[in-house]
Copies of this chain bind each other. A is one copy, B any other.
Amino acid sequence: MAPKWRELADRLAEKIRSGEYAPGDQLPQIRELVDAGEGSKSTVHAAYKALEAEGLVTSSRGHGTVVRQRAPLKRLGIARYDKVKWRDGDEVAFIADRVASGRAYRRNEQTQTVSRVKAPAVVAAAHGLPEGADVYARARLVKEGAQPTHTLTSYYRPEHVEGTRIVDPTPGPAGRGGGFRVLYDAGYEIDNMTEELFARVPSADEAKLLQLAPGEWVVELHRTTRTVDGTVVEFAIGVHAATRFAWSYDFKVPDSTKAEVEGENK
């Protein structure tokens, strides 16, 4: 037999999924359920904690326990990197899809700090540098209105960016066209990318920074950006609130018996 707190949680979850408790509604108070004979305060609390870990509700002292809004998934496709957006236009690649979807761009939705650091292992490996070599790190926290959605930290080799706007520590996007535009102006036109994704538990810092619900996971994205000759000009690590994004990729089914038309698809 399932524990009492699990049964209670399941009953409440069912009511939430059926719509009996709608998003924004408040669940019964813990003490009410104690009085109704659902168990002791600890038992009811355990049920509420389980519902919170499952992402169905958020609890807060003073407010009560409220059914969560299901934040719409934001779809990230490779069209967000379209050269038109950063080479020809006036948009910043990273926010271009938001503009395209009709949402207003507010300047403070991205904060940025640039610093010169010793390359961590994965960064060094991506750039083909020895571990601990100097690189520039450009760290951004991206928000959708007041809600932080993800962090994105780009790592550059000093010889690619020194003397450019990227190194300028002024907050805000890296100027017109963003980081790709700066690299383009410096003679490094990006040509192809590799993105690698995996899910993991957030660190305590990340949970706080991204305002994650307890138990919520993150998706870490590693993006390696290269010029046409294969030089890695940017390696970026993104940490995304897992519930707020979906990623989409289109590709041809590879056929290694044919000469490859393009260098990628490995």
Q: How close is A215's CB to chain B, nearest CB, in angstroms?
A: 6
B256 and A84 within 8 A (CB): yes
> Which of chain A's residues 27-50 have a Cβ closer than 8 Å to chain B?
42
A264 and B251 within 8 A (CB): yes
B266 and A252 within 8 A (CB): no
Q: How far is the CA of A36 from the CA of B196 in the complex (A)?
A: 45
Residues of B within 8 A of A53 (CB): 53, 215
- Give this chain's copy count: 2
**Is A117 positioned at the interface, with any CB of B under 8 Å from its CB?**
no
Q: How close is A223's CB to chain B, nearest CB, in angstroms?
A: 10
| Range, interface on chain A | 35 or more
Task: Check A253/B193 contact, CB under 8 A, given A199-B243, A217-B242, A266-B79.
Answer: yes
B257 and A78 within 8 A (CB): no
Decide if the interface of chain A is mainly helix, strand, loop or mixed. mixed
A54 and B201 within 8 A (CB): yes
Task: Name the residue of chain B whose CB is nearest to the CB of A196.
Answer: B248
Residues of B within 8 A of A261 (CB): 261
B55 and A201 within 8 A (CB): yes
**Is A131 positioned at the interface, with any CB of B under 8 Å from its CB?**
no
> What 8 pairs between A and B have smallest CB-CB spacing?
A250-B264, A198-B246, A199-B242, A83-B255, A249-B249, A196-B248, A217-B217, A199-B199
Contact surface of A with B, Cβ cutoff 8 Å:
10, 42, 53-55, 73, 75, 77-79, 81-84, 88, 190-201, 204, 215, 217, 219, 225, 242-243, 245-257, 261-262, 264-266
Q: Can you name 8 A-B residue pairings with CB atoms under 8 Å? A: A81-B253, A84-B257, A194-B248, A197-B197, A198-B242, A215-B215, A217-B242, A251-B264
